[in-house]
């Protein structure tokens, strides 16, 4: 039981945060630089692997679409894409309204006179950018779905499985070390001062906005019938609790399928829609992560992004969602290059938001599962309306 508790990723991140906060004053600067060097190396490794992850996951996912079901699946994916993008834009509006006052008042972590650098600089070759790899993955996946080729299928599956094995067996177990080195740098430079005090209210707003938004989804799924809404929530509640406690939408999938079948009275539809929404439609992430990203920008003395930069961030964030499924902490990991390109994140900001994401992961995951259960009901209604109009 103790081993299982300690192996939990949230517990490990909390241990790293507490250890960094309590031990940084007792560590010689060279020790801090040593841990920072490890973090920088892991970060370079992640940047090297990400294009292969994006390409292979997207190509495999799109290749799996059957020809006869392509209209149904692409229609569903279009709804998921639109929902995710709308959620991000909504999150941006909430973030701008909540954080613009903090930006105007100049509340941010004081600039440090101390600068900690790694012992060695690591630079692995960047063979291809993340955006080109994503686009190529889409092209290969759709082409392979329309004209299946066993050699292409075998290649992309081998690449996907190899990347997954590396992430699960090598990088993810070292994620606390990746975060720990950068956190020690932040504490040693004095950058953590006033963060909690400055961002307590935005954190409450962020989580409150998510659950208020999900309440509107629930009421919409129930056609604003309170009694029906309570029935849907009661059916969905076990899946939500499982997602919160395990931080895994996959662990909650059996319960989500059971709830979707009861709520729609359509086993075929539930079994077709729920697995697709599992990895791609993540309302919790699309509401929480953009606000967190803006909080981190202010913490490191960066201005809030322009509307155009935030929109581009949102579009590529949504596209990357199709490549994060199945990878632990996949949402935040595949978003790293997008935050760097369009929001100006650096290494320490990346580690900072990964640590924050680890703490709010239970809330984000339970939000994802709740929304997907409500989404199945709404999708059923949209599909029935479309079928009536085409008759």
Rounded Cα gap, residues 68 and 124, in angstroms: 43
Mean pLDDT (the chain) is 83
**pTM assigned to the model:** 0.79
- Span 18-40, mean pLDDT? 86
In sign, the C-alpha dihedral spanning 98, 104, 107, 111 is: positive
Res 104 pLDDT > 60: no
Most confident option among 71-80, 274-283, 338-347: 338-347
Which comes out higher in pLDDT, residue 292 or 275? Answer: 292
Q: Which of 193-207, 315-329, 350-364 is predicted least confidently?
A: 315-329
15 near 360, Cβ under 8 Å?
no
- Span 67-89, mean pLDDT? 84
Q: Give the number of domains in the chain.
A: 1
**Length of the chain in residues, anyone?**
391
Give the model's confidence band at 390: pLDDT under 50 very low, under 70 low, under 90 confident, else very high: low
Res 298 pLDDT > 60: yes
Percent of the chain clearing pLDDT 70 (strictly above): 88
- Span 378-390, mean pLDDT? 79
Model pLDDT, residue 234: 93
Domain that holds residue 101: 2-390
Model pLDDT, residue 308: 92
CATH number for the domain spanning 346: value is: 1.10.3860
Rounded Cα gap, residues 32 and 51, in angstroms: 30
- Span 86-92, mean pLDDT? 95
Give the model's confidence band at 224: pLDDT under 50 very low, under 70 low, under 90 confident, else very high: very high
pLDDT (tens digit, 9 = 90+) per residue, 48-66?
A: 888 888 788 778 877 877 7
Model pLDDT, residue 259: 92
Give the model's confidence band at 4: pLDDT under 50 very low, under 70 low, under 90 confident, else very high: low
Which comes out higher in pLDDT, residue 62 or 192? Answer: 62
Give the model's confidence band at 254: pLDDT under 50 very low, under 70 low, under 90 confident, else very high: confident
Rounded Cα gap, residues 373 and 237, in angstroms: 10
> Token digits for 311?
């929109």
pLDDT (tens digit, 9 = 90+) per residue, 129-184?
A: 777 887 888 889 889 988 899 999 999 999 988 988 888 788 878 878 888 888 88
């Amino acid at each position: 039981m103790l081993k299982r508790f300690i192996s939990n990723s949230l517990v490990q991140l909390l241990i790293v945060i507490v250890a960094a906060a309590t031990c940084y004053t007792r560590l010689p600067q060279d020790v801090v630089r040593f841990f920072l060097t490890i973090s920088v190396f892991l970060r370079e490794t992640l940047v090297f692997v990400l294009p292969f992850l994006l390409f292979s996951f997207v190509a495999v996912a799109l290749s799996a679409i059957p020809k006869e079901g392509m209209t149904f699946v692409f229609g569903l994916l279009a709804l998921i894409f639109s929902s995710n993008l709308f959620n991000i834009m909504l999150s941006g509006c909430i973030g701008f309204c909540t954080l613009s006052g903090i930006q105007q008042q100049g509340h941010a972590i004081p600039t440090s006179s101390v600068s900690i650098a790694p012992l060695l600089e690591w630079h692995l070759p960047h063979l291809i950018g993340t955006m080109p790899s994503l686009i190529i993955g889409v092209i290969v996946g759709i082409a392979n779905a329309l004209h299946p080729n066993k050699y292409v299928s075998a290649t992309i599956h081998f690449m996907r499985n190899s990347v997954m094995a590396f992430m699960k067996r090598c990088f993810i177990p070292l994620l606390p070390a990746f975060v720990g080195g950068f956190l020690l740098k932040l504490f040693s430079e004095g950058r953590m001062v006033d963060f909690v005090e400055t961002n307590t209210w935005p954190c409450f707003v962020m989580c409150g906005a998510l659950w208020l938004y999900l309440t509107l989804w629930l009421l919409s799924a129930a056609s604003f019938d309170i009694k029906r809404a309570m029935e849907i929530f009661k059916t969905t509640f076990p899946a939500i609790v499982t997602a919160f406690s395990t931080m895994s939408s996959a662990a909650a999938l059996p319960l989500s399928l059971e709830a979707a079948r009861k709520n729609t009275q359509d086993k075929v539809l539930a079994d077709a829609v729920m697995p697709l929404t599992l990895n791609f439609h993540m309302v919790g992430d699309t509401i929480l992560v953009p606000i967190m990203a803006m909080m981190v920008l202010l913490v490191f003395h960066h201005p809030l992004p322009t509307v155009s930069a935030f929109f581009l961030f949102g579009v590529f964030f949504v596209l990357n969602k199709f490549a994060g499924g199945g990878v632990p902490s996949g949402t935040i990991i595949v978003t790293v290059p997008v935050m760097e390109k369009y929001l100006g994140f650096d290494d320490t900001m990346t580690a900072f938001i990964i640590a924050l994401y680890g703490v709010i992961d239970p809330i984000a995951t339970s939000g994802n599962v709740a929304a997907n259960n409500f989404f199945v009901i709404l999708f059923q209604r949209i599909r029935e309306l479309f079928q009536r109009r085409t008759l």
